[in-house]
Structure 1
Amino acid sequence: MSRHLWVTALVLASVHTLAWAAELGPEQSEAKSHGIVLYNQHKAISAEPYLKIAAEAGDREAQYYLGEAIRFNKRYMTEEAEKWYTAAANQGDYYAMYQLSGKGSDLCNAMGNCPAGTKTAGEWLLQGRETAKALADKGDAEAMYVLHFLTNKDEWLEKSVAAGYPKAQWYLATMYREGKGFFIFPGRRSDRIKELFKGSAEGGYPPAMLEYAGILRLEGNRDEGWRWIKKGAETGNAAIFSDYAYSYSDAENRWGTPVDYVKSYGLMSLLLELNGGGGMQVFVEGELPRIASHLTSEEIDEAKKIGADWKSTHPPLSFFPDKLGFW
């Protein structure tokens, strides 16, 4: 069988596998959701046992995130991480194929002692490209975005942007801001960056909301910028939420927001639930006493209610690390 036919067979097998992937029960589904939240909060060690429950039940997304958590904790591709990436990849997960395509020098292959059926990094890369392209050809904008990293071809990033994938729009905007690309008219670069961040923000991608808000502020439109900060905070993105919460206790904040120490204290307190994940703990513990100095005990009780109300009506605060594992 030719290499092309072999890879095509693997892709078809992966797609077929999706049809019989096990469905999770309520407890397994809850464990998976909780594990992903913990992972997104930079609590990968705590996430592992929850993700493992769903991964062992055959859930490919849980398998991928478990591989990510293990690799993040160990800071390298361990045998255990590779096992779970492989399980996800065998169910058609091209993110897992991407991770396996960069697993290093293929030591077992070089030593000639790989277990039977083990694919090399190059074989995973080829399968990842074929899998993502099959979906991209059907209009899958996310697959186009990942295909950019699997092929190192800018055309796939541009296609993903044209298809309206918010993360691709944000990524291309950051690349243009760093000097990538050629623009005949100097002002066109900044216009295009703004267009891309705006499109990505409108598509619901929080980092773009923060970027677009900053552009609006520099243009003198602080009210519209603040609206995007609030919208970003409501997604649970910890970086934007901290800006939103802190601004209410800063009389000279860059958004011109009126001081509201009660609201600031209530919202800032929620960041303590990240338990140090992402380095937020030091910042919050330093600011809360300052804010509390402006409040009575009754106002602090009111602030706690504001925090509780926010928590009950919004997603958990998280850092949302890149799914491709850029850390």
Structure 2
Amino acid sequence: MMRWLILAVCASFSLSAQAGLRAVACEPEWGALLGELGGDKVSIYTATTAQQDPHHIQARPSLIAAVRNADLLVCTGAELETGWLPLLLRQSGNAAVQPGKPGYLEAAALVQRLEVPTRFDRADGDVHAAGNPHIHLDARNILLVAEAVSQRLVTLDAGNAGVYQSRLADFSRRWRSAMQRWEREATPLRGVAIVVHHRDLAYLQNWLGLREVGTLEPKPGVEPSSAHLAGLLASLPTQRPQLIVRAAYNDGRAAEWLSARARLPVAVLPFTVGGSPRAGDLFALFDDTIATLLTALR
């Protein structure tokens, strides 16, 4: 009996020693960033996958339990998770990760947001009053978020401050070098006219100079109708797009319909980490995104 007790105590100690700081990321990109900055000092639970629309997630029991035990919650904010995060926070009962606490961080609050509406009307579709929340596809924004996440890790786990600061310095060096390469490789994309599925690529477009001339959705979050697609097809000779672009999690039927009739290539972007076999981390996400766009353009 004593032997089993000693083994149980040792196992419990080992588990707690390995776990370190416990973090929950609302989206895969923030889970990947936490991994870059925290290493083995942070255990990470990611609430969504690349094949899910982050607007619409169920607050399942396993997710509630993860948030209940978390020291840090990193989400996009700007109302991206408004359909499920408030419920999750209430049901978790974890005071440490509520808005305004050190354990709660919203990435969109750290960057300049695009498409902030001058008026707000739900009749316009899934419009976010705080602006477009899909900030992570501008690589410059990742650096801003990384700095804030690292500082928050230092605040919550001061004993490992040196580790977090060192990892941030290393990540920033590698990220800046990669950004220079991505911007150089993406030069042919500047000014290219595209049709998108949903308005979730605004930051990528702004960074790389892509020009949006149409959307498959008649309004943000509203499924494409046959009448809207027919009207969009009729407008294409004037708009002269070169690509149809959608995220991996979008339903592909509307893009394929338009592609077949307009004879335009479709670029299916991973959108976030895990969205394609190649996009296994943040660096590979941008490698694959730019390569996919260039391949489709050719």
TM-score > 0.5 by shorter chain: no
Normalised TM-score (structure 1): 0.28
**Rg larger in structure:** 1
Q: Which has the higher strand share?
A: 2
Higher helix share: 1
Q: Using CA pairs under 8 Å that are at least 6 residues apart, name the structure with larger relative contact order, 1 or 2.
A: 2
